[in-house]
Amino acid sequence: MYEIKPSPKFKINYAATGEEAILQNATFLLSTMWNTCPMHREFGWEPPVDDPSEFAKASSSVRIIETLERNIPEITVQDIKFEHDEENALLIPRVKVVINNG
């Protein structure tokens, strides 16, 4: 099981292969704001701003699972926990995933 989370200082390793590439792709997806990729507007996810409620966490969890499993079929989401970044008024997901064999 691996843990991934969005990172504003995410560095891409262009030589990544195997599990490292899969995890890098998932981290990149979580680090990308929804509707910001011109040729793929549904790529990324939209974090709730200024809403640390349980409803925001639940609805974000659903969107994260759908987005990750639709775009990266090699992984399965096992658990999502949230940190509240009070400085930027954001919920930051910590997503536990497993890489599917086969």
pLDDT tens by residue, the chain, 102 residues = 999 998 878 788 999 999 999 999 999 888 887 767 777 767 777 777 777 788 889 988 998 999 898 889 999 999 999 988 888 778 889 999 999 975
For the chain, the C-alpha Rg in angstroms (whole number) is: 13
pTM for the full model? 0.82
Structure tokens at 82: 């949230």
In this prediction, residue 76 carries a pLDDT of: 95
Q: Are 12 and 32 in contact (CB under 8 A)?
A: no
In this prediction, residue 75 carries a pLDDT of: 94
Cα separation, 30 vs 46, in Å, equals 9
In this prediction, residue 35 carries a pLDDT of: 67
Cα separation, 81 vs 18, in Å, equals 26
